[in-house]
């Protein structure tokens, strides 16, 4: 179970024949993900390590009934790859690529949202984009659509995890595992300024998921997604949420690796995020191991 992806998800890989696409297609298959096909325009009809390659997402979807796409296309073509998947009717699109121009992402995200609304208005299941510049998502023991190390996500747990950072996602999943809790589904929403899915979009899914008891949210400086999440939690969530914010000592005006991790003027400061979580009664861990203590406390353990 878990959210967004499970053992029945059928995954098509856009950019499978590139080095990253190939490497992670193998790793996803090893994890147990149903990787059904690859898409590389111009290489349609070829076989790649046992996977059929198609020229278009539409064709791959039609032949294999795919319902998830993961994108490893280089930055210049990445936003177009998102739109191709969205127009082909793939309901869940995961953009791994880092370095996509922000203007391209603005346009892609707006169009995906329009298609989502149209699909839902017509009784369809909608279209969701996760990322870019994200590690993807994984439901433990069932399905990984991403680039995270397999080992820490094998055993099913009951803590939902959402994060703007890749490595911190692995780190916290490992800590949760070691503490005997483990994760249900982990969603890496990405480190770019304009992304398809925010914390506040994922939280309601965890709230509704019977396999999730509590949620860990890994935020960072920049933007106001954490503030929006805090507001959502205060108004709508019954399940406990524990937060962590990285980059608390970063100076203003400097971009900390992630394109979105920058304090501009008074927007994106750690103070603002901490205050928002405090107001929402969401405990914020000062260190990563403290996340575990706070989760245990929240669950009454």
Partner 1 sequence: MKLHEYQGKEILRQFGVNVQDGKVATTPEEVRAIYQEYGQPVVVKAQVHVGGRGKAGGVKFSPNEDKAEENARNILGMDIKGLTVEKVLVTRAVDIDAGTEYYVGMIVDRNVQSYTLMASAEGGMEIEEVAATTPEKIIKYRVDPVTGLRPFEARAVAIEAGFKGNLNKIADMMVKMSKAAFERDAVLVEINPLFIEADGTPLALDTKFEVDDNAMYRHKDIAHYRELSAEHPLEVEASDYGFAYVKLDDGNVGVLGNGAGIVMTSLDVVNRAGAKPANFLDIGGGAKADVVYNAVKLVSKDPDVKSIFINIFGGITRADEVAKGVIQALDDGILTKPVRMRIAGTAEDEAKVLLGDKNSDLIKMYPTMFEAAEEAAKEANALGGK
List the beta bridge partners of residue 35. 11
| Single residue of 42, 50, 123, 265 touching partner 1 by CB under 8 A | 265
| Single residue of 87, 107, 239, 296 touching partner 1 by CB under 8 A | 107
Query: What residues from 165 to 184 belong to the interface with partner 1 (CB under 8 A)?
Result: 165-171, 174
**Which alpha helices (DSSP H) does 189-269 contain, by range?**
199-208, 225-236
- Cis omega (within 30 of 0) on the bond before 132? yes
Which range binds partner 1 by CB under 8 A, 45-53, 191-199, 205-213, 273-281? 191-199
| Whether 258 is catalytic | yes
Residue 135: both structure tokens together: 């590690």
Whole-number Cα distances in Å, 231 to 95, 135, 189, 203: 27, 26, 18, 11
To partner 1, the closest distance from the beta carbon of 113 in angstroms equals 8
Residue 222: both structure tokens together: 């920049």
| Single residue of 44, 154, 193, 272 touching partner 1 by CB under 8 A | 193
Q: Degrees (nearest 5) of the Cα angle 265, 271, 273?
A: 95
241-246/128-131 β-pairing: unpaired
In the shown chain, the binding pattern of residues 194 to 213 toward partner 1, with x for contact by CB under 8 A and - for none, equals xx------------------
To partner 1, the closest distance from the beta carbon of 244 in angstroms equals 8
List the beta bridge partners of residue 71. 14, 95
Identify whether the C-beta of residue 68 lies closer than 8 Å to the C-beta of residue 35.
no
Distance CA 37, CA 64 (A): 8
Residue 147 makes contact with partner 1 by CB under 8 A: yes
| Single residue of 207, 213, 225, 226 touching partner 1 by CB under 8 A | 225
Residue 228 makes contact with partner 1 by CB under 8 A: yes
Residue 257 makes contact with partner 1 by CB under 8 A: yes
| Single residue of 111, 211, 231, 293 touching partner 1 by CB under 8 A | 111
To partner 1, the closest distance from the beta carbon of 96 in angstroms equals 10
Residue 248 makes contact with partner 1 by CB under 8 A: yes
Residue 52 makes contact with partner 1 by CB under 8 A: no
Which range binds partner 1 by CB under 8 A, 56-64, 86-94, 116-124, 264-272? 264-272
Query: In terms of CB distance, is 63 or 114 closer to partner 1?
Result: 114
Whole-number Cα distances in Å, 241 to 17, 73, 154, 230, 292: 39, 34, 23, 9, 12
Query: In terms of CB distance, is 60 or 138 closer to partner 1?
Result: 138
Identify whether the C-beta of residue 34 lies closer than 8 Å to the C-beta of residue 59.
no
To partner 1, the closest distance from the beta carbon of 149 in angstroms equals 4
Residue 148 makes contact with partner 1 by CB under 8 A: yes
Residues sharing a CB contact under 8 Å with residue 236, sequence separation 6 or more, in sequence order: 203, 204, 207
Residue 103 makes contact with partner 1 by CB under 8 A: yes
List the beta bridge partners of residue 243. 217, 284
Distance CA 234, CA 216 (A): 15
Residues sharing a CB contact under 8 Å with residue 75, sequence separation 6 or more, in sequence order: 97, 98, 99, 100, 101
Catalytic residue list: 258
The residues that touch partner 1, with contacts defined as CB under 8 A, are 75-76, 99-104, 106-107, 109-111, 135, 147-149, 151, 163-171, 174, 191, 193-195, 218, 220-225, 228, 246-251, 254-261, 264-266, 286-289
């Amino acid at each position: 179970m878990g959210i967004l992806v499970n053992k029945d998800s059928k995954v098509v890989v856009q950019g499978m024949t590139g080095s990253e696409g190939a490497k992670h297609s193998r790793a996803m298959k090893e994890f147990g993900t149903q990787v059904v096909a690859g898409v590389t325009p111009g290489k349609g009809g070829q076989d790649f390590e046992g996977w059929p390659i198609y020229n278009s997402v539409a064709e791959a979807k039609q032949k294999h009934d795919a319902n998830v796409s993961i994108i490893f296309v280089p930055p210049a073509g990445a936003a177009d790859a998102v739109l191709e998947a969205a127009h082909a009717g793939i309901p869940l699109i995961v953009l791994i690529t880092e370095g996509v121009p922000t203007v391209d992402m603005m346009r892609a995200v707006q169009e995906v949202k329009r298609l989502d609304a149209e699909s839902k208005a017509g009784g369809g299941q909608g279209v969701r984009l996760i990322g870019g510049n994200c590690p993807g998502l994984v439901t433990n023991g069932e399905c990984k659509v991403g680039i995270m190390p397999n080992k820490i996500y094998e055993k099913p747990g009951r803590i939902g995890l959402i994060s703007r950072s890749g490595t911190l996602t692995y780190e916290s999943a490992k800590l949760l595992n070691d503490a005997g809790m483990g994760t249900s589904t982990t969603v890496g929403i990405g480190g770019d300024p304009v992304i398809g899915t925010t914390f506040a979009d994922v939280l309601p899914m965890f709230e509704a998921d019977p396999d999730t008891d509590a949620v860990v949210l890994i935020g960072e400086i920049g933007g106001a997604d954490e503030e929006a999440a805090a507001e959502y939690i205060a108004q709508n969530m019954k399940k406990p949420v524990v937060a962590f914010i990285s980059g608390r000592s970063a100076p203003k005006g400097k971009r900390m690796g992630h394109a979105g991790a920058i304090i501009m003027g008074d927007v994106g400061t750690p103070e603002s995020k901490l205050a928002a979580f405090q107001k929402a009664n969401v405990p914020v861990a000062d260190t990563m191991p403290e996340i575990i203590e706070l989760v245990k406390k929240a669950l009454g353990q």
